[in-house]
């Protein structure tokens, strides 16, 4: 099968600081990939490097075998890559519906429109005229996801969509993921919550200090190995992490 997204030797830089070192990834159409790693590992930078919002990057990024490594963020978005950014980044002066409609400005043809978003997250229909800032954190996260879906993306990049939310709210938000995938989008979720990542993803990649330290299917990854890859602890001969 042709990969939807491939990166080869992808590196990224903030000025002189190198934040990513030669990342090789491949995502099949319809798959869900999780990127896990501690704060500062480079997860957000990787999403930005794919979406074209990092100032400087080297290496390859391709979408359905088309080279997108040299494209600006708006061009990548127009090809069907949408980001749910860390911290949501809603427009505080706009109401819920206006925030959702912002996402339709780069829309592909596809299944998602306002009605579909409101069916996915019914509370947003009730609150559609409310200022985005008046919503709870979880509801704001739903708006951020809905806004990204309004563009009918082929690839949805979700950066820390569970951060700071109560477990019951996280459950609601992640319950939308199978529906989003069934409607045709492939998904990359960035998570600090390892358990959540293992639950939803077909493939998991762990990052540390700008590099991928472990990759595999959730069922094939031992907890100790994940712990080592996540925290950088050295494994003892017994297979237990050294603290
Ligand atoms: N705008 C920026 N300018 C300079 N350094 C940055 C910037 N954003 C992130 N970094 C640095 O890049 C590294 C990776 O950050 P980030 O991708 O945000 O990690 P994560 O999302 O895994 O927490 C960190 O060392 C961070 O301090
Ligand atoms: Mg981040």
Task: Compute the average pLDDT of residues 33-57.
Answer: 94
Q: Say if residues 55 and 14 touch (Cβ distance below 8 Å).
A: yes
Looking at per-residue confidence, does 64 or 223 come out higher? 64
d(CA 218, CA 195) in angstroms, rounded, equals 10
CATH, domain 5-88+151-231, list 3.40.50.10490, 3.40.50.2000, 3.40.50.300, 3.40.50.1360: 3.40.50.300
Q: Give the sign of the dihedral formed by CA 69, CA 70, CA 72, CA 77.
A: negative
Enter the pTM of the model. 0.93
Q: Where are the domains of the chain?
A: 5-88+151-231
Q: Say if residue 20's pLDDT is above 80.
A: yes
Nearest CA to ligand 1 atom 16: 42
- The answer, yes or no, to whether any atom of ligand 1 lies below 6 A from the CB of 85, is no
The tens digit of pLDDT for each residue in 105-145 reads: 876 788 999 999 999 999 999 999 999 999 999 999 999 99
> 43 CB under 6 A from ligand 1?
yes
Q: How confident is the model at residue 240 (pLDDT cuts 50, 70, 90)?
A: very low
Given the CA of residue 48, which atom of ligand 1 is nearest to it?
17
> Hey, whose CA ends up nearest to atom 6 of ligand 1?
14
Task: Give whole-number Cα distances, 82 to 22, 75, 109, 219, in Å.
Answer: 23, 11, 14, 28
Q: In angstroms, rounded to a whole number, what is the distance separating the alpha carbons of residues 46 and 51?
A: 9
Say what percent of the chain tops pLDDT 90.
81
Predicted confidence (pLDDT) at residue 237 exceeds the cutoff of 50: no
Please tell me the predicted confidence (pLDDT) of residue 234: 55
d(CA 57, CA 62): 13
The answer on pLDDT for 238 being more than 70 is: no
176 contacts 22 by C-beta, under 8 angstroms: no
Confidence bin at 199 (pLDDT 50/70/90) = very high
Cα-to-centroid distance, 193 and ligand 1 (Å): 18
């Amino acid at each position: 099968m042709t990969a939807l997204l491939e990166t080869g030797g992808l590196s990224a830089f903030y000025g002189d600081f190198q934040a990513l070192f030669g990342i090789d990834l491949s995502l099949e159409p319809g798959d869900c990939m999780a990127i896990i790693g501690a704060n500062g590992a480079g997860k957000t930078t990787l999403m930005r490097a794919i979406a074209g919002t990092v100032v400087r990057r080297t290496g390859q990024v391709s979408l359905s075998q088309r080279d997108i490594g040299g494209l600006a963020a708006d061009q990548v978005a127009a090809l069907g890559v949408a980001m749910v950014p860390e911290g949501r980044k809603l427009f505080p002066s706009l109401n819920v519906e206006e925030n959702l409609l912002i996402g339709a400005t780069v829309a592909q043809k596809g299944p998602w429109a306002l009605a579909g978003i409101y069916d996915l997250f019914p509370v947003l229909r009730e609150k559609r005229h409310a200022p985005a800032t008046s919503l709870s954190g979880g509801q704001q996260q739903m708006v951020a996801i809905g806004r990204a879906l309004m563009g009918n993306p082929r690839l949805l990049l979700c950066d820390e969509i569970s951060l700071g939310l109560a477990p019951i709210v996280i459950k609601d938000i992640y319950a939308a993921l199978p529906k989003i995938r069934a409607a045709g989008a492939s998904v990359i979720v960035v998570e600090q919550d390892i358990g959540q990542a293992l639950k939803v993803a077909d493939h998991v990649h762990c990052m540390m200090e700008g590099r991928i330290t472990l990759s595999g299917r959730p069922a094939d990854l031992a907890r100790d190995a994940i712990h080592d890859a996540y925290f950088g602890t050295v494994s003892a001969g017994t297979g237990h992490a050294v603290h």
